[in-house]
Structure 1
């Protein structure tokens, strides 16, 4: 490997992994890739051999990129000429992980006799092509292609060796990109659900800095001024005593979420000098499978101090198959009661309460009491709760 080859390949590999993690960065890689291979245009696109259709948009994947092509040329390629691409006639030559040239796929001396060259390649000044067939799934290939003029000559062995060097990195980056997009879409869907909840929701990272606040939370904190949301700073209570209690709850929740020693969070009631009230329930988010993104470590649920989340019991029974006693206990925990407080109020033993909560937790698919509360607060039971019959 010559020094120039090593430098070129390393620079392109860096751009590949940057593109996998940054929106819109595949165009930057494609431009550098095409320029390195003395090509005046390039494209990341897909071809479906089952119906001879091509896709230059790659919706939902984040992979689409073009370099050097006019929009009308891409539109005609996708709408008509892709199906007449003679380089796609033999599907057996398009294997996943292969690096191919137009000369390998169709004889150069026959190319100028085709409609594809006359009406599409020639207007784009294209004669030679080289492609990395990065993926092949159910007769659909995803490719990184570069093209150049006839006078530039065919792609040589050194240029094809560079593409082969990049191939495993392209495959890894494509796979990573798809996984990140799926996680991003899941996270967006989850936060959209939070806007429907009947209380304020804050998502914090492990240092208690704000990642997300739904509209209800923004309105409640602005109205009461008992809790301050400051960009780039931890969640903060203006009153020193309240802030100390909040810091302890947040620290314990962050430790629990990262599987370190800690506590399950808890409830903090804030009271203003002129009657304002705000009730905070702090709960950890498990870092190994948080539905709100990997950075989310803590959830804080806000409500008016007198506004209990009621009428949950019937819905909990319907959704999770809880008994009446289990559903009532779960509703109490969601509203900030401790297990001992609930047992005292219901005049049952703490042993009975523990048995009930263990069963309720298992029925909700949770392993810990804190997870049960989080699942209920962010799940369909709260979104679709119905009043108990009189």
Structure 2
């Protein structure tokens, strides 16, 4: 970029002192203009991306640590307005019903916390009685990677209607991964959105025992995290075939 300065002829030519000053200031002025142009281009690109995401058919939201909605696609706005699994409560995202609200709040807390490191979650929201279940992923959004939201502690929430709203049966999971009955029951519970503490309490076992089963389950499924395990369970096409077994509700 070339930059020059002119002034009215009646003021005369620049003095040697003025020229020295301009020589010092011009590089800084040029840099400031370049930065301004880049920021404007980035703002236009950001808005274009958000407009495209808003019009997409997916139910996608960006929320803050306090569940304040920073962005919502058209589909997300529709679901919140109809109170299908999620709702907009005074500008904050919440689940419909006490149980779903608590599960979603916990997932957002995990994804936006500073210490320890943020953690993604996969869960299932029951939703209103007529709507059926929705699978939900809550993923940390790292500002330094995207530049879209200049705020710490935000996450992306995506809802999807599973093709099969029922979680795979424990028998099907045991067949697929070679699990023991206890490991299969744990995998089934996790696929339905239960936490380790929930499962331990419901089955009257210690959290240490549950974690032992979880470690064996990870090893057999070839994953290292609960979110990856649940994603694997719902994504596997085997469950659309005969191995899926009877519903276990």
TM over 0.5: yes
- What is the number of residues matched between the two proteins? 191
Match of 1:353 among 221, 229, 232: 221
Larger Rg: 1
Q: Distance in 2 between matches of 1:153 and 1:341?
A: 92
Q: 1:217 to 1:254 in 2, by over 3 A?
A: same
Q: 1:198 to 1:143 in 2, by over 3 A?
A: same
**Which residue does 1:242 correspond to in 2?**
100
Q: 1:159 to 1:221 in 2, by over 3 A?
A: same
Q: Distance in 1 between matches of 2:27 and 2:149?
A: 27
SS across alignment from 2:143:
coil
- Which runs of at least 4 in structure 1 moved beyond 6 Å after TM superposition? 335-338, 368-371
The yes-or-no answer on 1:298 pairing with 2:166 is no
The yes-or-no answer on 1:288 pairing with 2:144 is yes
Displacement of 1:218 in angstroms is 0.9
Cα root mean square deviation, aligned: 4.2
Instruction: Give me the TM-score of the superposition, normalised by structure 2.
Output: 0.57
Where do 1:163-312 residues align within 5 Å? Answer: 163-195=22-54, 197-224=56-83, 226-229=85-88, 233-237=91-95, 239-255=97-113, 260-272=116-128, 275-277=130-132, 279=134, 280-290=136-146, 292-295=148-151, 297-303=154-160, 307-308=161-162
Displacement of 1:202 in angstroms is 0.4
Q: Distance in 2 between matches of 1:193 and 1:336?
A: 32
Q: 1:252 to 1:344 in 2, by over 3 A?
A: farther
Q: Distance in 2 between matches of 1:270 and 1:348?
A: 29
Structure 2 unmatched runs, 5+: 180-216, 232-239, 241-249
Structure 1 unmatched runs, 5+: 1-140, 311-334, 359-367, 375-387
Instruction: Give me the TM-score of the superposition, normalised by structure 1.
Output: 0.39
